Structure 1
Amino acid sequence: MAGALVPIIAGQQWRLLVRDRRLTLLAVALVLVLCTASLTGAALHGTQEAERRGAQAEEAHVWESQGPANPHGAAHFGRYVFKPASPLAIVDPGLLPQLGSALKLEAHANNPARNRGIDGGTALDRFGGLSPAAMLQALVPLLIILSGFAAFAGERSRGLLRQELAGGVAPRVLMAGRMAGLGIMVALLLAASVLAGAVALFLAGGGATALVALLWMMLAYGLYLFGFTALTLAASAAFASARSALVVLLAFWAMATLFVPRIAPSVAEALVPTLSAPAFEAAVTQEVREGPSGHDPQDARLERLRQETMRRYGVTKLEELPIDFNGVALFEGERLSSTIYRRHFAALYDGYDRQAAVQRSFALLSPLQALRPWSAALARTDQHAHRRFLEQADAFRYGLVQQLNRAVIHRPKGAEGPYLADVAAITRDARFAAPPPSLRESLARHWIDLAILAAWAALATLLAFAAARRLGRVAA
């Protein structure tokens, strides 16, 4: 009998929400803005991908058109690669504006990505556009609070709650019904988000994998928003007045969506400091020059390489070598500098991972600290996806430079003047590919975030039904 009342109460709650024109207009406006952001993002994604492909084709044309050149000079001339954007970046751009999209590949250097979205423009531009993810993370919880803060407190002040309880309706049934009524609104907003995201993915060329990733994203958003729904009703049932419930809920919303996400990175940087760009480059340069221990300078390493090379070929003079020793030195120097760069970069990004773990610990205060990493990982717009791209680009750079160094090693003997070769022919088979992280890998890396969101939703639900127990005293 009690269970049969839940749909009735849910329907009543839903009708009250629909009749409130202010809430209806806010919800409709939010859906329209969300759909507009998705479609606009799809159009922008298409434009950016066309520009990226055009820039990559132009770069390849410049490389192939340089004519005869010194191979090592060509290695310093370098090449550019441009990071492709995931179609799901339409839904959640994540860290893309901060990470850069263009990378110069050259000998003896491991350059950072350039062309960041936050570079240039006005101060307001650096906050980025209003993405569907940002609306689901901040605006939809606010709509839930405005819709449900008076669900119990408002009825208590008008004397309606006493009548409902006196009629024999159990407090837990009232809570379940109100929760289901607000849940209908949340479900409709999530359905609109999935539909808008699916259409945007189709327009952006996303496939079945992207659609499955979108559904996994929306599962996390569902837990996040359901937690806000339960917490809103818990506050409404716990406080005597609707005004008190609203103030407390707005304070939590501001802390969870505005303050903590801005404070957590600063705390993480203080607890797990990482090198700045100049300090990082200085550390790598010093190790290249002096060796890992500081007692193996470049000149000593070069002399050992000369002796080992002559011993390998059974000669006593460099001029007697059947190969060009300069090429051997360049090859070994590239191997050494690349090893050092990779070790330092691995330490740097491992530090970023530890900072992310510190930020995740703030999920006790803000579930957004668990939602954002999950969402960005599935959208392939997080730090890990960027690190993967940089490692792939460095592997391509290393192979390209060493191909050119081999050409110097095996240059024709007896030729006078500077050595020139057809660089395009030497590197004809070099093709850069950057496959993104798989969906399974992203899920495995961030399952803890989904578990935190599930725990947050469960805890909010327990608080809601615990607050409902106190409602029985109203009828006394």
Structure 2
Amino acid sequence: MAALVPVIAGQQWRLLVRDRRLAVLGLSLLLALLAAAFAGAALHGARERERRAAQAEEARVWASQGPANPHGAAHFGRYFFKPVSPLAVIDPGLLSQLGNSLKVEAHANNPARNRTIDGGTALDRFGGLSPATMLQLFAPLLVILSGFSAFSGERARGLLRQELAAGVPPAALMAGRLGGLGATVGLLLAIATLASALALAWSGGGPPEYAALFWMMLGYGLFLLAFAALTLAASAAFASARTALVVLLAFWAMATLFVPRIAPTIADMMAPTLSGPAFEAAVSKEVREGLSGHDPQDARLERLRQTTLQRYGVSKLEDLPVDFNGIALFAGEQLSTAIYRRHFAELYDGYDRQAAIQRGFALLSPLQAARPWSASLAQSDQHAHRRFLEQADGFRYGLVQTLNRAIIHRPKGEEGPYLADVAAITRGARFTPIRPPLGEALARHWVDLAILVLWAGASVLLAFGAARRLGRSGA
């Protein structure tokens, strides 16, 4: 049996190569994949140059303010433009739905703005085509078209009966055809990996990105192996090639089009999160009234006033060696930041619950595991966006409190509004977002990889189970 498998696999491979329709479809997919990879790399380079130029101009504007009131400067704020991982060239994930610019200012933890999906052409709003789109949607379709008649077509021509009559074990037939179809998948993945590696090199990727690319392609290999095995299982199970094709196309549409669209809706219904206006209203109410309305803002300010007077041993604010307004601003920033962070943590924890619910739909579609696995490695998912926002908020808090300290320790005896060299006060403040290590993505999404392994293993077992029934029926 073992000696027959390579022969059958070679025969299956030659049949696929000789089919001109499949050759045209496969070549078209590969050309589209290459075009998507290199176009994405070029677009990434152009956007990265624009981002760096905009960030440099923003830094110049901040540094050229001249004398200004520190708290006024804190409200003037700074703008940051989110850097994008080179791997987003391969899988842009949720980037089009997440903002790419952020204003950091006093008393507010702003959401990111300027989403790609909000402007541009209709194609821009659709998200364009990426190598990930090709592998997630169109590569499974090519696998189905390549293998749906592997058994049912030969059954119709009477060739399958002859093979079984010659003593070829059904398991060897299945293993050989799976090997031939697997070679098609392997060639597709090899070209996709090569194109992705070249696009990464063009986009400035380094060893961490190439390591992530390996894990990404491993996930896609398991994903496509599941489709290949299911295709051969259906071809062996149904007597008619037409029936096998209809069933497989129905599964492809359900797995790649229907489930990925209904899963977010159902997840949002089961674990709803606050809208933007409702979120901001909840934060503003707690800042104003305190937690559960038990600590109004005026009462907090009066306690702070009395505590400050006692600390410095004076009875009037005018006798303080520091500026109480700065102390009040410092304490207010502490409070509002703590409230914002708690509410944002609850919001993003809600998003994580929704993601877990969506992962449950991987029982119906392996794409529900392949897509988050790929996006997490490309750092184009919700978690990478949250990490950027949290780092930016840490910088924001430090910047605002540095300006508030300048107010606290302003020179005594000056008349009129306090003006200071804001650029000098904040000269040491530099925001450099740190990208998460590869191990973090692997640790967060190992369940998705395990689901893909289960899909591939179960599909292979199903294929060999269909082959055994094929032998019992005598074709």
Superposition TM-score tier, normalisation by shorter sequence: over 0.9
Is contact 1:220–1:371 with CA below 8 Å preserved after alignment? yes
Kindly provide the amino acid, as one letter, of the partner of residue 84 in structure 1.
P
What is aligned with 1:169? 168
What is aligned with 2:210? 211
**Equivalent runs, 1:133-282 vs 2, <5 Å:** 133-282=132-281
Kindly provide the amino acid, as one letter, of the partner of residue 404 in structure 1.
L
Kindly provide the amino acid, as one letter, of the partner of residue 397 in structure 1.
R
What is aligned with 1:424? 423
Which SS does the other structure have where 1:110 is aligned?
coil
Q: Post-superposition shift, 1:436? A: 1.0
What is aligned with 1:464? 463
What is aligned with 2:17? 18
Which SS does the other structure have where 1:118 is aligned?
helix
**Equivalent runs, 1:34-183 vs 2, <5 Å:** 34-183=33-182
Which SS does the other structure have where 2:116 is aligned?
coil
Q: Deviations over 1:184-227 (max 9, x none)?
A: 01000000011001000101110011001000000000000000
Q: Deviations over 1:218-273 (max 9, x none)?
A: 00000000000000000000001000000000000000000000000000000000
| C-alpha separation in 2, matches of 1:231 and 1:353 | 31
Runs of at least 5 residues in structure 1 that lack an aligned partner in the other structure: none
What is aligned with 1:30? 29
% identity of equivalent residues: 75
| C-alpha separation in 1, matches of 2:376 and 2:334 | 32
Kindly provide the amino acid, as one letter, of the partner of residue 52 in structure 1.
R
Q: Post-superposition shift, 1:122? A: 4.2
Kindly provide the amino acid, as one letter, of the partner of residue 377 in structure 1.
S
Which SS does the other structure have where 1:109 is aligned?
coil
Q: Post-superposition shift, 1:275? A: 0.1
Q: Deviations over 1:306-338 (max 9, x none)?
A: 000000000000000000000000000000000
Q: Deviations over 1:126-170 (max 9, x none)?
A: 111100001000100000000000000000011110000000000
| C-alpha separation in 2, matches of 1:126 and 1:370 | 24
Which SS does the other structure have where 2:292 is aligned?
coil
What is aligned with 2:367? 368
What is aligned with 1:352? 351
Kindly provide the amino acid, as one letter, of the partner of residue 314 in structure 2.
V
Runs of at least 5 residues in structure 2 that lack an aligned partner in the other structure: none
| C-alpha separation in 2, matches of 1:131 and 1:183 | 23
| C-alpha separation in 2, matches of 1:144 and 1:470 | 23
Q: Post-superposition shift, 1:96? A: 0.4
Which SS does the other structure have where 1:222 is aligned?
helix
Number of residue pairs aligned between Structure 1 and Structure 2? 475
What is aligned with 2:399? 400
| C-alpha separation in 1, matches of 2:107 and 2:323 | 19
TM-score normalised to structure 1 length = 0.99
Q: Deviations over 1:375-414 (max 9, x none)?
A: 0000000111000000000000000000000000000000
What is aligned with 2:452? 453
| C-alpha separation in 2, matches of 1:293 and 1:165 | 76
Query: Which stretches of structure 1, 4 residues or longer, exceed 6 Å deviation after superposition?
Result: none
Is contact 1:162–1:474 with CA below 8 Å preserved after alignment? no
* Mapped pair 1:307 → 2:299: no
| C-alpha separation in 1, matches of 2:376 and 2:120 | 27
Q: Post-superposition shift, 1:293? A: 2.2
Which SS does the other structure have where 2:3 is aligned?
helix
Q: Deviations over 1:287-321 (max 9, x none)?
A: 00000120211000000000000000000000000
| C-alpha separation in 2, matches of 1:148 and 1:61 | 60
Is contact 1:284–1:341 with CA below 8 Å preserved after alignment? yes
Kindly provide the amino acid, as one letter, of the partner of residue 81 in structure 1.
F
Which SS does the other structure have where 1:293 is aligned?
helix
Kindly provide the amino acid, as one letter, of the partner of residue 44 in structure 1.
L
Kindly provide the amino acid, as one letter, of the partner of residue 211 in structure 1.
Y
Q: Post-superposition shift, 1:473? A: 3.4
Kindly provide the amino acid, as one letter, of the partner of residue 372 in structure 1.
R
Which SS does the other structure have where 2:80 is aligned?
strand
| C-alpha separation in 2, matches of 1:65 and 1:417 | 22
What is aligned with 2:340? 341
Q: Post-superposition shift, 1:470? A: 1.4
Is contact 1:227–1:458 with CA below 8 Å preserved after alignment? yes
Which SS does the other structure have where 1:3 is aligned?
coil
